[in-house]
Structure 1
Amino acid sequence: MSLRIETREYTHFHFFCGIGMGAAGFNEGTARLGNLEARLRCIGGIDVDKDAIANFDRFAGVKGTCMDLFTLEQYIAFHGKAPPPGWREATPADIQRAAGFERPDIVFLSAPCKGFSGLLSQTTSLTDKYQALNELTLRGVWLMLETWKNDPPGLIIFENVPRIRTRGRRLLDLIQALFRAYGYQYAETEHDCGEIGNLAQSRKRFLMVARHPEKVPPFLYQPPKHKLRGVGEVLDLMPLPGDPAGGPMHRIPSLQWKTWVRLAFVEAGSDWRSLNKLQVEDGYLKDFLIVPERHNGFLGVKEWDKPMGTVAGSSLPNNGTFSIADMRMPHDSGQYAQYGVKRWEDPSDVVINVKSPGQGRYAVADIRPTQGPGAHHNKFRIVPYSGPAGTVTGCDRVGSGAPCVQDPRPSQREDYKQTKYRVTAMEEAAGTVIAASTTGNGAFAVADPRPNGMTQDRENYNSQRHYGVLAYTDTSLAVPGFASHDNGAWSVADHRPAVLDVENPIIMPAAADRLTCVITAQDGTWHRPFTTLELAALQSLIDLDHPDSWWLHGSSDSQWREQIGNGVPRLSAKAMGDCFAMTLLLASTGETFLLSNTPIWVRPLAVSLAVDTSQVPA
């Protein structure tokens, strides 16, 4: 006898919905409890970006609404000007209309996070522009609570960057006060989207979950965690960049030539600090020479024992391998070996009346010590500190004997000249600070044993790993909306060979020339930026098994990247949706506990979901 499955549908609505990555993931969320099955359905979303809404309609499967949630004061503070004619503040009635006049069981809010991010300086974050952007968090929560105050959603999920706990503490306290006022219990926590979504990137996010205790009494369980994957596990499922099968989003960006060179010298798994290992003299690399790759034998030289290419009517060195490495000594070549030095065991060339070192090989590498009679080996000689001095004569000068000594004792003079360019020990007192206190006129430098002493206050900057190159087996960092080769680890050491255009010879470009190219790095791989499509794959936005899904509305890579980076990874949202669906399914059956092998979503959250916090003093 088969078990009859009863399906129960729960709805979700999204504020600041973006292109609908989170909504698409929630739509895939399911849960099963006995013969009951839960399904999630999106009833709408709101975002101020009309192009993002065009993509939301496709991914969420429901029409989104383009709407500005700023107050008038916030709009002016952010944009620096009054709104255009016809603009007005959004109301709860507008939110109801955007939801198709349905009441959601789950509301998801992922407000703009730029003002809370550590990538923005503290000074900039405090400007009116970004304070207005930050206040959208409070504004969005208030609109949501007021819209459905007569029939509250059972679960509210508020997501943002972890730094909101410090930079946005005042706003979080106000939001929690609103939750209490509208009868909700809540808890703050954090999670890694990569771990719960089985992704190839680490994306740590702040999460605040609120529940209406009258509607949702059960625990909320944590999604299972997975080990982070390597970027290569995702990229191996995709064609190489530039392949027409990848579409317009799968193209290598055009970068400046100097950027390509920098990426080539970054060690896989490292960042710009690898470049500090290069030796540079007078602005040029000391140990490397960069030349165009040889194509079709251009200026090619054949080895002595190798066959040559076909002899054509234009067999010249610059259009084929028409030169040879000849190991035979040219006839009478000795007469042209100016400044040549003969080995001790070699015979001399013919001695004639015009032979001098500048006219041939008329010098010898003499292995005998120069101690013979008449040798003036004392001129300009320095005597070791432990050795005897030469005889003191009436013409003791450095040019006439050995009256110099290697003195190992440090100078004890304290005069001005002895302190020029001097470095003071860490535990030593500095010299007097005068009006001309520079390294060239006193001991105004210190031997500092502390590592990275000058960068301790730039932790956030260094952690971004600009010009960073990931190994093919590494996990990507979180994909933000501004991901580019020079502001994070957004390049990969790709071991797969690229197809070169051998029909067009390469000419060395200028440093600022923009081009797309392949440079084989020192580790034998191609260090290149991620394509826009690859960033979408790392965010689990696209279905790798269905190339027909590999596109977004629009034609701008910068716009696509911003939309992709601002989204919640689809598979991470699905993992959360599974848990929310189970919690709502339990609530609908009157259950308050489930025996599960997955832990309750962190202790503070478990307490908030199980205890009536209305009885606990605020």
Structure 2
Amino acid sequence: MIHREYKTFGFCCGLGGGAKGFKKAASQVGNMIATWRCIGGIDVDPAAARDFEHLVGVPCTVMDLFTRAMYTAFHGKEPPAGWREATAADVRRAAGNETPDCVFISSPCKGASGLLSEALSRTPKYQALNELTLRCVWLMCEAWKDKPVKLIVFENVPRLATRGRHLLDQINQILRHYGYAVNETTHDCGQIGKLAQSRKRFLMVARHMEQVPAFLYEPEIHRLQGVGTVLGRMPLPGDPAGGPMHRVPSLQWKTWVRLAFVEAGSDWRSLNKLAVENGHLSDYLIVPEYRDGYMGVNRWDEPSGTVAGRSGPTNGTFSVADPRFAKSAKWNDGHAYGVLPWDQHTNTIAAQQMPGQGYYTVADPRHAGPAKHNNEFRIVPWGHAAGAVTGAHGTGQCVQDPRASTGFEGAGKYRITGFDEPAGTVIARSDTGQGAYAVADPRPGMRRERGDHYLTGGHYGVVGWEQPSGAVSAAAGHDNGRWSVADPRLPAANDKLIAIIRALDGTWHRPFTTFELACLQSLVEPEEYLELDGLSDQAWRERIGNAVPPDAACAIAEVMGTTLLLAETGETFMLSAMPVWVQPVAVALSVAQPAEVS
């Protein structure tokens, strides 16, 4: 195989998307293979120049390509001391005094962008920015007028064809004066680069007719991909593995809410379907979502999750669907908490004899016998003090408890036991998450006195925002002290934050991260790591948005490499179903006539 290396150079090259695409390209004609080497670029942004060197591997020259008049019109002031207009010699030095085979020009497009109003685009500031297109072409032609560049790619927004028509006409005249055949067209970077984005651009392609007599074909068109084919290969947003560019942007609370109600594939017009009364949604309510297995129940044949320090129903999947409930039917056969008449015999004495395990309680008729002590069988009223507690107290010191006596009923989770109902069986872990261990106490107005633990413990206490907290204990919980706070920081409509709101379609409607945008632009593969110069997401996004997708540039470079190989071998025609970008004035001249065939 014969290898040919062609050279490329960039004007207004940005962070180097176009140059990176050319470096990836490879073309083959017969036994000849062509690749591209970047010999440099020019851009006015120092941060973009540093990114260029990082992504492409060659230096980018920081240079202002404005004329003095253009500088003054754009910035509204005279240039600083020491500033001077760039010359053709400066351009040659930026290319290492080499002559490129192809020049890629991607001048700023803000002045012709549809995001800019028609009135603003006509102001001197943006007219000066548009004139940079003409300035770049003229500098390029002058820099290598003795050995013209063989191929030229001029890329911009489609609206340049209307808003900058007068400039394009002048560019056409200049290029034709220097011996170029020119063609204007539009293309979709996503279709020629097999991207997951649609990016329609204006394209002017030129070839120097004396050096390149062959056809210049358009790249092949492909189907656009879905964004999931790219994003699905990346870590979740916010994952440290994605780096600082993969963080979820902070948006205003009202923006998150709006995004959640926009239908996938639609835009703000979806919001017109919502019923809004006095500025509030009347049909929907946004509520917090319990996560991580809240109140989760494990199947009998499934493994449990990791057993944590506090494994309860409310903080994970720490309940089980036990199929053996039927084996506990004996609780309903009259044995549990059984009370024997005084004249009946007892059951077999087992190792464990507790009231809840069988007939281990007796109806003793001897309560009317002679008193052995003053306090024996004494019933203390609920509101009175007890007598002195002695070591010999057995049946004395009883209390007139207005609460229901013990009983058993099914262990319902978080069930509230009525004050006149029996409680469930008391087990080793008896709390509100394990059974009916809460009670509807009708005594909320009962008088509390000094020393009462409930009175002074601060249970369910709420700390004011401006008040100090108590000492933080190991068991601090919302129900055993003042461990809640009256937080006034409910998000206002304009507050910026990161929120996850499950949309009506069950998905998370969120903005792309900066890293995802770079991958959609094909600047890097989703599995790779990218960190551009600086620390500003806004600056990163601007440079990424200005970039030419490398995969689209690669497709352009490959057809250009094929064209140069054909020109080098003397071929002027290649059978292809692809449309021709730039063709000779007389197509017949490039096709062998029958009389010429021996």
For 2:267 and 2:238, the matched residues in 1 are separated by 25
Match of 1:103 among 90, 99, 108: 99
| Kept after mapping to 1: 8 A contact 2:9/2:100 | yes
* C-alpha spacing 1:561/1:105, structure 2 compared with 1 (3 Å): same
For 1:601 and 1:305, the matched residues in 2 are separated by 80
For 2:492 and 2:435, the matched residues in 1 are separated by 29
Give the secondary-structure state (helix, strand or coil) at the position aligned to 1:293.
coil
Match of 1:606 among 561, 578, 583: 583
User: Residue 58 in 1 paired to residue 54 in 2?
Assistant: yes
User: Residue 584 in 1 paired to residue 584 in 2?
Assistant: no
Match of 2:574 among 576, 582, 594: 594
User: Residue 521 in 1 paired to residue 521 in 2?
Assistant: no
- 1:218-266 C-alpha deviation (Å, 9 max, x unpaired): 0011211110000001000000001111000000001111111111111
Give the secondary-structure state (helix, strand or coil) at the position aligned to 1:100.
coil
Deviation at 1:291, TM superposition (A): 3.1
| Kept after mapping to 2: 8 A contact 1:13/1:44 | yes
Structure 1, unpaired ranges of 5+: 332-502, 614-618
- 1:530-567 C-alpha deviation (Å, 9 max, x unpaired): 0000000000001234x2x4221211100110000001
Partner AA of 1:519 in structure 2: I
Partner AA of 2:275 in structure 1: Q
- 1:143-164 C-alpha deviation (Å, 9 max, x unpaired): 0000000000111111111111
Partner AA of 2:114 in structure 1: G
Q: What is the match of residue 403 of structure 1?
A: none
Deviation at 1:212, TM superposition (A): 0.9
| Kept after mapping to 1: 8 A contact 2:413/2:435 | no
Q: What is the match of residue 18 of structure 2?
A: 22
For 2:166 and 2:43, the matched residues in 1 are separated by 24
Give the secondary-structure state (helix, strand or coil) at the position aligned to 2:9.
strand
User: Residue 178 in 1 paired to residue 174 in 2?
Assistant: yes
For 1:322 and 1:279, the matched residues in 2 are separated by 42
For 2:434 and 2:290, the matched residues in 1 are separated by 10
* C-alpha spacing 1:120/1:95, structure 2 compared with 1 (3 Å): same
Q: What is the match of residue 554 of structure 1?
A: 534
| Kept after mapping to 2: 8 A contact 1:543/1:550 | no
Match of 2:413 among 285, 307, 310: 307
| Kept after mapping to 2: 8 A contact 1:116/1:125 | yes
Q: What is the match of residue 555 of structure 2?
A: 575
Q: What's the Cα RMSD here?
A: 3.3
Q: How many residues align?
A: 427
Q: Which one has the largest radius of gyration? A: 2
Q: What is the match of residue 46 of structure 1?
A: 42
Q: What is the match of residue 544 of structure 2?
A: 564
* C-alpha spacing 1:214/1:588, structure 2 compared with 1 (3 Å): same
TM-score (norm 1): 0.65
Give the secondary-structure state (helix, strand or coil) at the position aligned to 1:201.
coil
| Kept after mapping to 1: 8 A contact 2:194/2:551 | yes
For 1:610 and 1:78, the matched residues in 2 are separated by 44
Match of 1:161 among 150, 153, 157: 157
Structure 2, unpaired ranges of 5+: 296-311, 320-409, 416-425, 443-483, 591-598
| Kept after mapping to 2: 8 A contact 1:291/1:508 | no
For 2:38 and 2:283, the matched residues in 1 are separated by 59
Q: What is the match of residue 68 of structure 2?
A: 72
For 1:504 and 1:536, the matched residues in 2 are separated by 42
User: Residue 288 in 1 paired to residue 284 in 2?
Assistant: yes
| Kept after mapping to 2: 8 A contact 1:600/1:606 | no
Percent of aligned pairs with the same amino acid:
59
Q: What is the match of residue 217 of structure 1?
A: 213
Q: What aligned pairs does 1:198-209 form with structure 2 within 5 A after superposition?
A: 198-209=194-205
For 1:522 and 1:505, the matched residues in 2 are separated by 31
For 2:97 and 2:48, the matched residues in 1 are separated by 22
| Kept after mapping to 2: 8 A contact 1:157/1:210 | yes
Partner AA of 2:500 in structure 1: V
Deviation at 1:508, TM superposition (A): 3.9
Deviation at 1:517, TM superposition (A): 1.6
For 1:94 and 1:305, the matched residues in 2 are separated by 86
- 1:365-419 C-alpha deviation (Å, 9 max, x unpaired): xxxxxxxxxxxxxxxxxxxxxxxxxxxxxxxxxxxxxxxxxxxxxxxxxxxxxxx
Deviation at 1:61, TM superposition (A): 1.8
User: Residue 268 in 1 paired to residue 264 in 2?
Assistant: yes
Match of 1:241 among 220, 237, 244: 237
